[in-house]
């Protein structure tokens, strides 16, 4: 039996992890959850899975749970960051699922990297901004990081069993292209929020859905892959694959290309990552109908090349560049969702902010938080000039 804690349990990744646990109760146990403000969903999780530990950074959520579960002697509810560190280092916990969306997941991912446990990583932003810190920490404390984004988990599965990349010639990360695949940037000023949130293949949270529509998600994935697999960015290509059946392809020096395929379903990479002793878990999944399968591929739209140039710059320069890129995008997405800017202006906010904020080659966690704050201030100025 593996004991699991989910950081960000009330989000879409949390839903998928809970579904896998639900189908494998004899092998997996939810020992703890963290969440922020979705009280009703947290209550539902607690009532169904009976976790021993619950952490929230919201005083409102904490007070509500203390009252709602005052007669539950088995449930321990916490809200101090020091207590979260204690929970994550608890000997009973085997697996930490890092599923908090965006920059907000950085602190807990850094704590998790020091535990010596297994991290199932969905919070790509923490690697984008602090890959140079988190990966060495994980090695130092013998913490295993298994990616559960479908693309990175696909690469993980396609690599040799020892995860050696010495024989790799090329890695292709696929992109669905999102709902605006066949629109050029000039047409994107007219798209609505509901259209942008209507992903053709995946059901995800709002932020990642907008990132997918803008293709910025592929930029973040490229940067994350560069750190996770310790390969130069030149080893990675990005290809649009609208069906989202092939999630990544690894080509070896001998010409062999190995891909991972599944219907779009986040539970598939999660189930793989939760496998015990290399024995795969049962999952009620949708079979691929190979008899009628049609797969197509195309180049990344040329009018989005500038955003990918920035992503490759981040891969090659590191330092604070990932923090600036991520923060600019988060502010742009937030303001699009608030309908303060049009969809096409997401790119302009990123470009102008990235060029305006001074970069540093050497960073630590404190510096990352400072630069993140500076970048958000600058990005808000850009938004104001556009709205």
Q: Sketch the domain layout of the chain as residue ranges.
A: 2-147, 163-265+300-386
CA 85/CA 88 separation, integer angstroms: 5
pLDDT of residue 182 exceeding 90: no
Average pLDDT, the chain: 94
The answer for residues whose C-beta is within 8 angstroms of residue 386's C-beta and 6 or more apart is 341, 345, 348, 349
Q: What is the pLDDT of residue 162?
A: 66
Would you call 65 helix, strand, or coil by DSSP?
helix
Is 2-147 CATH 3.40.50.720?
yes
Interior/surface letters 112-124, b for 16+ CB within 10 angstroms, e for the rest: bbbbebbbbbbbb
Q: Which fold has domain 163-265+300-386?
A: Rna Polymerase Sigma Factor; Chain: A (1.10.1740)
Q: Do domains 2-147 and 163-265+300-386 have the same CATH topology?
A: no
Express each pLDDT in 117-174 by its tens digit. Answer: 999 999 999 999 999 999 999 999 999 999 999 999 999 999 976 677 889 999 999 9
pLDDT recorded at residue 165: 85
- Per-residue pLDDT of 207-235, as tens digits, reads 889 999 999 999 999 999 999 999 999 99
What is the pTM (predicted TM-score) of this model?
A: 0.94
The pLDDT confidence band at residue 185, using thresholds 50, 70 and 90, is: confident
């Amino acid at each position: 039996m593996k004991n699991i804690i989910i950081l960000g349990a009330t989000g879409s990744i949390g839903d998928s992890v809970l579904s896998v646990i639900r189908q494998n109760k004899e092998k997996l146990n939810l020992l703890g959850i963290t969440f922020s403000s979705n009280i009703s969903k947290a209550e539902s999780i607690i009532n169904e899975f009976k976790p021993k530990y619950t952490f929230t950074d919201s005083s409102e959520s904490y007070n509500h749970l203390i009252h709602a579960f005052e007669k539950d002697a088995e449930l321990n509810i916490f809200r101090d960051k020091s207590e979260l560190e204690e929970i994550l280092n608890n000997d009973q916990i085997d697996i930490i699922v890092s599923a908090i969306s965006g920059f907000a997941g950085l602190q807990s991912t850094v704590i998790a990297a020091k535990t010596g446990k297994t991290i199932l990583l969905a919070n790509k932003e923490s690697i984008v901004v602090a890959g140079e810190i988190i990966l060495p920490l994980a090695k130092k404390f013998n913490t295993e990081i298994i990616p559960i984004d479908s693309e990175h988990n696909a690469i993980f599965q396609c690599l040799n069993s020892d995860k050696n990349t010495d024989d790799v010639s090329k890695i292709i990360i696929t992109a669905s292209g999102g709902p605006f695949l066949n629109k050029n940037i000039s047409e994107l000023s007219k798209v609505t929020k509901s259209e942008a949130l209507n992903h053709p293949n995946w059901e995800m949270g709002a932020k990642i859905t907008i990132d997918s529509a803008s293709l910025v998600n592929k930029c973040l994935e490229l940067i994350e892959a560069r750190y996770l697999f310790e390969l130069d960015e030149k080893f990675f290509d990005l290809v649009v694959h609208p069906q989202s059946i092939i999630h990544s392809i690894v080509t070896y020096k001998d010409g062999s290309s190995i891909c991972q395929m599944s219907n779009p379903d986040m539970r598939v990479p999660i189930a793989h990552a939760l496998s015990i002793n290399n024995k795969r878990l049962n999952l009620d999944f949708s079979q691929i109908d190979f008899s009628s399968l049609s797969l197509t591929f195309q180049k990344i739209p040329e009018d989005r090349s500038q955003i990918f140039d920035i992503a490759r710059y981040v891969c090659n320069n590191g330092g604070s560049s990932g923090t600036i890129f991520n923060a600019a995008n988060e502010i742009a997405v937030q303001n699009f969702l608030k309908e303060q800017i049009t969809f096409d202006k997401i790119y302009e906010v990123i470009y102008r902010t990235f060029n305006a904020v001074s970069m540093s080659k050497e960073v630590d966690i404190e510096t990352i938080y400072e630069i993140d704050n500076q970048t958000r201030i600058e990005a808000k100025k850009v938004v104001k000039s556009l709205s």
